[in-house]
A = this chain, B = another copy of it.
Amino acid sequence: MTAASIAKDLRAAIRSGTYKPGDRLPSEAALMSNYGVARMTARHGLSMLKDEGLTVTRHGSGVFVRAFEPIVRDTTGAAVGDSTVTAETDETGAGLTVRTLAVTAEADPPEKVRTTLGLADGAKVTVRERLHLRERKPVLFATSYLPASIAAGTPIADQEVGPGGTHARLTEAGHAPVRFREDVVGRMPTIEEIEELRIEPGTPVLSVTRTAFTQDGTPVEVSYVVLDAGEFMLRYDIGG
């Protein structure tokens, strides 16, 4: 019962404000003597808080109370900042930087993508991979798939899509996306995501599958977006 009770005490202290975001918690050695327990027990108590996302540990330095100052991502997929911003721009109002990692003009789609886009066997897709950074820390990773029959040969298949992003290019090509579906799940990150987004232990990710449709209901883009849940709030405005 002791590891759990250490966690309970510290949790209560954090909630009550005894320890504020950024503050250092007692060291393992301190907990050992305060509670008269073995080191592994003190450690286990602290690790519970880490698993709950309440704390972050810094090797050689200490255990600190975590803060949450989310980036608000609105319905359009843009981060909400000072002014209206669009996705795919270099700098959003929320201090986000977008880095285009890779663009492939023609690739074989994963089966899931092929069926979502309603493509024939053997049809190719254009793939865009992007990483969003907040003050140099990666916070969002997105992979978009578009039918190569639409995207190849347009700026969508280039490293730089130009002003307005892929949606502007799609519109110019007569495939204006007007309807979107976002499916959101929360889960713990994979090892790859932990490395890619440098995710703190105890932090889940939000996994968003976004599909864009034209007026006649044809899907023109499917995107898989993984967001560090410690950095984001998703905002959906419905109706009006």
Which chain A residues have a beta carbon within 8 Å of chain B's beta carbons? 8, 11, 40, 51-54, 68, 70, 72, 75, 178-191, 201-206, 229-230, 232-240
User: What distance in Å separates the Cβ of A86 from its nearest Cβ neighbour in chain B?
Assistant: 15
Docked pose: A40 CA to B53 CA in angstroms: 23
Known contacts A51-B51, A191-B11, A232 near B179 by CB under 8 Å: no
Kindly report how many copies of this chain are found in the complex they form together. 2
Contacts A40-B40, A180-B239, A183-B235 known; 20 new A-B pairs at CB < 8 A: A52-B188, A52-B190, A53-B187, A72-B183, A75-B238, A179-B237, A182-B235, A182-B238, A183-B236, A184-B184, A184-B206, A184-B235, A184-B236, A185-B234, A186-B204, A187-B204, A187-B229, A188-B204, A204-B204, A236-B236
Report whether B235 and A185 are in contact in the complex, using a CB–CB cutoff of 8 Å: no
Tell me the bound Cα distance from A40 to B41 in angstroms. Answer: 12
Q: Are A186 and B202 neighbours in the complex by a CB distance under 8 Å?
A: no
9 A-B pairs, CB-CB below 8 angstroms? A11-B191, A51-B201, A52-B189, A53-B187, A54-B188, A178-B239, A179-B237, A188-B204, A204-B204
Closest 5 CB pairs of A and B: A186-B229, A204-B204, A186-B186, A53-B188, A184-B234
Residue of chain B at shortest CB distance from A53: B188
A201–B52 alpha-carbon span in the complex (Å): 9
Give A64 Cβ to nearest chain B Cβ, in Å.
16
Q: Quick check: A185 and B229 within 8 Å, CB to CB?
A: yes
Query: A238 contacts B236, CB within 8 Å?
Result: yes
